[in-house]
Structure 1
Amino acid sequence: MTDDLVLYTNPMSRGRIARWMLEEVGADYRREVLAFGGSMKGEHYRRMNPMGKVPALTHRGKVVTECAAICAYLADAFPEAGLAPPTPDRADYYRWLFFAAGPLEAAVTNRSLGVQVPQDKRGMVGYGSYEEVLDTLETALAGRAFIATDRFTAADVYVGSHLMWGMQFGSIERRPAFESYVAGLAPRPAHLRASALDDADMQQMQATG
C-alpha cells in the first residue's frame, strides 16, 4: 500500500464511484474509511475537505474532491490506463461526464426530495426538468455500449455509476437504453473488484458498530 495515492471514502457513499475508477486505473492506493457524522466531520479531515464529505483523493500531497473531478483527474494522472480519449477527441467525453455531474445529479436529487420546479421557472435551473434530462441521456445512449467514444472511458465510470445506483434505488426510471448500457459495464473486472472491496468494508463497519 502507498501514501502517494489515498482514497477517503465510505462504502455507502459516492466514494464507490471513485473506488471503481481507482480499480480501473490499476494504480497502488490506500483507502481510509470515514464514518458519517464522526471522523468525516472531524478536524483532521476537514482540513483536507472543509465540506466534511467523501470521497476525497490525495495524490502526492494534492487534494481532489468531487467524483467527476476525481474520475477526470485519475484518467489524466495515469494515462497508461487509457481512460480518457486523446485531447482532440474529448468533446463528448467532457460533455457527458459533466452532464451527469450537473443536470443529471441535480434533477435526480431534486425529484427524490420532492422539489417541483414550476413550468415558468425551469429556465432558472440548469437541468430544465427531470424528464428532459433522462430523455437527453436516453437518446445519447441508444444503441451505444459507451457514452463518449467507441471504447470505455472515465465518463462511463461516472455516468454508469449514476444509472446503476439510480435504477437500483428507484430514483432513475428503468429504460431499455439505460439497462442495456449498465449491463455492459457491470461485469467489468474493476467494477466487480471495487464492489467487493466496498461490500467488505460495509460488513466490517456493521460488525464493529
Structure 2
Amino acid sequence: MSQDRATPHQDGHTPDPDRVTLYHAPNTRSSGVLLLLEELGAPHDLHLLDTRAGENREPAYLAVNPMGKVPAIRHGEAVVTEQGAIFLYLADLFPRAGLAPPLGDPLRGPYLRWMVYYGSCFEPAVVDKARGLEPGPQAMSPYGSFGAVLDTLTAQLRRGPYLLGTRFSAADVLWGSALSWTTQFRLVPETPEIAAYVARHAARPAVGRARARDGALAG
C-alpha cells in the first residue's frame, strides 16, 4: 500500500501503511506466519480465533476465508489466504529483511519453486501418507509419490545449509516450521539432512520468540 492511502487517526497520528493483521490460532499453520512476521520485523496485529470453539466457522471469519482455515492476513484492503501466498506476499512487502530474492535475482525462480512445492506436493503427500491413502494414478496425483517428494527435498537439503544454498529465505521459515512438526509427530522420517535442517531452524532467535508468544496465547 502506498503512503498516500493512509489517513490520520483522530489523535493526529498516521496509521502505519505496512501494518498487517494476522488471523491466528496458536499451534496451527498460522504459527508459521507468526514466525515469519517475527523474522521480518513486520508491524502486525493478531486477530485470535478459538478453533476449538468453532470461531473459524462463524460467518464473520468465513467472510475472510470461506474455507474456514487459518492463516489469513489483512493488509489495508487486501485479504490474502493460503499459506504459500501469504509467505510470498509478506516477504515481498518487507524487502529490507532480505527474505525474498527480487525479480531479476537468479535465485528468484528456485525460491518460488520451493515455496509452491510445499503446498503442491509436500502437504498432499504427507496428508495422504498419514491417512493411509495411496497417491492415486501417476497422471492424477499432484505429487507422484511420497518417496519422490522426500528424495527431492533431501537432495536439496544436502546442498544446504538452506534451500537456496547459503542464502536463508522465507522458504526456510515455511519449511523449517513444517518439518519441525511433521518430524515431531513422525509424519516424516528424520533423515540426517532433515534433522540438521530442523536443528538450524530451532536455533534461530525468532523461533524462540514466536514459540513463546504462541505458548502464552494458547495458555
Q: What is the TM-score when the length of structure 1 is the normalising length?
A: 0.91
Q: Which amino acid aligns with 1:185?
A: H
Equivalent residue number for residue 26 of structure 1: 41
For these two proteins, the number of residue pairs brought into alignment is: 201
Equivalent residue number for residue 161 of structure 1: 177
* Counterpart-to-counterpart distance in 1, 2:79 and 2:166: 31
Query: Which among 1, 16, 22 is matched to residue 31 of structure 2?
Result: 16
SS of alignment partner, residue 87 of structure 1: coil
1:53 partnered with 2:53: no
* Counterpart-to-counterpart distance in 2, 1:143 and 1:54: 32
User: How many angstroms does 1:157 deviate by?
Assistant: 0.8
1:28-56 residue CA offsets vs partner (Å, 9 max, x unmatched): 11112101252111111111111111111
SS of alignment partner, residue 155 of structure 1: helix
Map residues 71-90 of structure 1 onto 2, 5 A cutoff. Answer: 71-88=87-104, 89=106, 90=108
1:59-111 residue CA offsets vs partner (Å, 9 max, x unmatched): 11211111111111111111111111132221110111111111111100111
SS of alignment partner, residue 104 of structure 1: helix
1:35 partnered with 2:50: yes
Equivalent residue number for residue 204 of structure 2: 188
1:66 partnered with 2:94: no
Equivalent residue number for residue 131 of structure 1: 147
| Greater C-alpha radius of gyration | 2
Q: Is the 8 A contact 1:160 1:182 kept in 2?
A: yes
Q: Is the 8 A contact 1:92 1:149 kept in 2?
A: no
User: How many angstroms does 1:2 deviate by?
Assistant: 7.2
1:135-183 residue CA offsets vs partner (Å, 9 max, x unmatched): 1100011041110242210110111111111101111111001111121
Q: Is the 8 A contact 1:2 1:29 kept in 2?
A: no
Q: Is the 8 A contact 2:125 2:135 kept in 1?
A: no
1:96 partnered with 2:111: no
Query: Which structure has more RCO (C-alpha within 8 Å, separation ≥ 6)?
Result: 1
Alpha-carbon RMSD across the aligned residues, in angstroms, is: 1.6
Q: What is the TM-score when the length of structure 2 is the normalising length?
A: 0.87
Equivalent residue number for residue 9 of structure 2: none
Equivalent residue number for residue 127 of structure 2: 109
% of aligned pairs identical?
A: 41
Q: Is the 8 A contact 1:100 1:162 kept in 2?
A: no
Q: Is the 8 A contact 1:15 1:54 kept in 2?
A: yes
